[in-house]
Copies of this chain bind each other. A is one copy, B any other.
Amino acid sequence: MATSASNTEQGSITTGPVTTGPIEGSTKHHLPVPGTDLRFPSRRIHLTDGTHHDVYDTSGPYTDEAARIDLEAGLPRARDAWSRPAPVDGAATQLAWAQAGIITAEMRFIAAREGAAPELVRSEVAAGRAVIPANHRHPESEPMIIGKAFAVKINANIGNSAVRSSISDEVEKMVWAARWGADTIMDLSTGKDIHRTREWILRNSPVPVGTVPIYQALEKVGGDPTALTWDLYRDTVIEQCEQGVDYMTVHAGVLLRYVPLTAKRVTGIVSRGGSIMAAWCLAHHTESFLYTHFEELCDILRGYDVTFSLGDGLRPGSIADANDEAQFAELRTLGELTKIAKSRGVQVMIEGPGHVPMHKIAENVRLEEQWCEEAPFYTLGPLATDIAPAYDHITSAIGAAMIAQAGTAMLCYVTPKEHLGLPNRDDVKTGVITYKIAAHSADLAKGHPRAQERDDALSKARFEFRWIDQFNLSLDPDSARAFHDETLPAEPAKTAHFCSMCGPKFCSMRISADVREYAAEHGLETQEQIDAAIAIGMAGKSAEFADHGSRVYLPLTEAATGAADA
């Protein structure tokens, strides 16, 4: 792993190096997309037995040793060359094409990437149960899908604020988040240089980029929410569509009449966008311009195939406020808006909480599906308790895994710095890996066809003391290896048939291997065979096992070749 690339001065902004090179033990491969001349990215993990294990890859060209990274030039604009069908009723969107029965290049790419049938991709998009966030003006991105029929996705938030961070930090955070598995990133910058920060991120991002346009609009009016206007907001949205933003959070469900419902809450309104719109509605004692101009907004987004992420501006900010009247009133309105957007050919997903105790999680998915026509649900955690700031990646991973099991399509990560400060590069990685865990746990629970293969491969490596394979099959080979090496740093320990937990004299895995060998030798596979063997004194074979037992710590290879019986 290197941290080099270009280091460019442009005006006052330093765009520093980003992380390149493959993840330990793996290489990038581009595999064919059936029915096209396209190829999709895949990460190949090489195992010590000569086999390999391919996994879904979000990292873009940065992990490809053959790629030349030039941040100033940006990534290749690959999708510009892909064939694009004619618009359907004026809509050149994946939704319109899917509803017209057209399987686009993006759908075939995604189908190959997911290991799904192209027709499944098309039909889920057509039904509005899945979205493909792919702005025509972000041709650098590798298409991906968000929907409950597919692998659960995760998003990483990055972005500077007025207090901290620089453009180069944010570009590296994007590359770094994608490296470890972020399926999309959101640029939530609120400070200076929002436009330029986003430009650097978009031109170099292999994953879809989401934003919250109201943040930039607020900067344009000097931070005073009451000074916002529809015209200013609309122009900001167009600016971001033109740049290539793939999906936008729009808090159009924060209606004037819902705002007072938050007054008795423990933590009021915690969504930035929600509180901006609440302040505007109250100040002007009129309905939100996002709601009253929603159709116009749809028509703008449709022109670029930008996906709506209908924001939950009234999401709960504490366990006490979960599933309350304000939250669900807004969700119903998001359902109305979903219908409007889809009828105008615009893709839609729905944002969800936040902070929810475990027993109230399933209700969120149930109501979202019921009211929003099963539009993909995209939740922030939720945190299952409020009492662990500095560990909110964990409090929220519990809720995230459960809500994904219940049907949420994408999980927005939470880092250890949540509620306390801005995440640094380490926090971003911790957040991404933690959310890969939550998403993968849900895939397992949902019976996703590919999910268990990796668990089984890793567990088999663990059982066979293939330490290096265990490291490399894990979500974070670097940390797994480092933790192992803390107690047993020498290289030979990585081929040893024991670890520091039990020491060399005793190991349960070793005994298990002996049991396996013994059972195989004596044909003990079914309960009937076992009972029969027990009835006749285990076939008088005890002496043989005792022989094994007394040499139970032989190297596995020796035992496997039968040398133990010699």
Contact = CB atoms under 8 A, between A and B. Distances in A.
Interface of A: 161-164, 190-191, 218, 223-226, 256-257, 259-272, 274-276, 278-279, 282-285, 317-320, 325, 355, 357-359, 384-391, 393-395, 397-398, 401-402, 405, 416-417, 419-422, 424, 433-434, 436-438, 440-442, 444-447, 452, 454-456, 458-460, 462-463, 470-471, 473-476, 479-480, 482-484, 486-488, 499-506, 508-509, 511-516, 518-520, 524-525, 527, 529-531, 533-534, 537-538, 541-542, 545-546, 548-550, 552
Contacts of A256: 534, 538
Given A389-B483, A424-B486, A459-B318, A503 B259 contact: no
Contacts of A488: 163, 421
A509 B269 CA distance: 7
For the complex of A and B, the 3 pairs showing the least CB-CB separation, nearest first, are: A268-B512, A162-B503, A318-B459
A387 B450 CA distance: 13
Contact of A503 (B191, B260, B283): B191
A402 B405 CA distance: 12
Given A191-B503, A317-B459, A484 B549 contact: no
A275 B511 contact: yes
Given A384-B401, A524-B263, A357 B545 contact: no
* Most chain B beta-carbon neighbours within 10 Å: one of A279, A447, A549: A279
Contacts of A164: 487, 500
Given A530-B257, A542-B284, A441 B395 contact: yes
A422 B500 contact: yes
Contact of A275 (B161, B284, B384, B508): B508
Contacts of A534: 256-257, 285
A541 B284 CA distance: 10
Contacts of A471: 389
A524 B276 CA distance: 19
A225 to B, nearest CB: 7
A386 B162 contact: no
Contact of A504 (B162, B282, B463, B525): B162
A401 B382 CA distance: 14
Give chain A's interface secondary structure class: helix
A481 to B, nearest CB: 9
A517 B520 CA distance: 75
Nearest to A389: B480
A456 B276 contact: no
Contacts of A224: 549-550, 552
Given A272-B508, A279-B514, A279-B515, A483 B417 contact: yes
Contacts of A504: 162-163
A385 B419 CA distance: 28
Nearest to A262: B515
B391 A476 contact: yes
B268 A463 contact: yes
* Most chain B beta-carbon neighbours within 10 Å: one of A320, A390, A533, A546: A390
A549 B279 CA distance: 7
A88 B347 CA distance: 72
Contacts of A445: 357-359, 384
Contacts of A505: 162, 223
Contacts of A501: 161, 421-422
Contact of A476 (B390, B473, B484): B390
Contact of A358 (B401, B417, B459): B401
A552 B479 CA distance: 45
21 contacts: A161-B501, A256-B534, A263-B524, A266-B459, A267-B462, A269-B515, A275-B508, A317-B459, A358-B445, A386-B455, A386-B458, A387-B455, A389-B471, A389-B480, A391-B476, A391-B479, A393-B394, A417-B486, A417-B487, A419-B462, A421-B486
Contacts of A509: 267-268, 270, 275
Nearest to A55: B387
Contact of A458 (B387, B462, B525): B387
A462 B480 CA distance: 35
A163 B387 contact: no
Contacts of A257: 527, 530-531, 534
Contacts of A542: 282-285
A379 to B, nearest CB: 15
Contact of A506 (B223, B387, B482, B538): B223
B456 A318 contact: yes
A444 B385 contact: yes
Given A385-B455, A508-B270, A515 B391 contact: no
Contacts of A278: 511-512, 515
Contact of A225 (B272, B434, B549): B549
Given A442-B358, A459-B320, A388 B506 contact: no
B433 A391 contact: yes
Contacts of A265: 512
Nearest to A441: B384
Given A402-B358, A530-B261, A385 B440 contact: yes
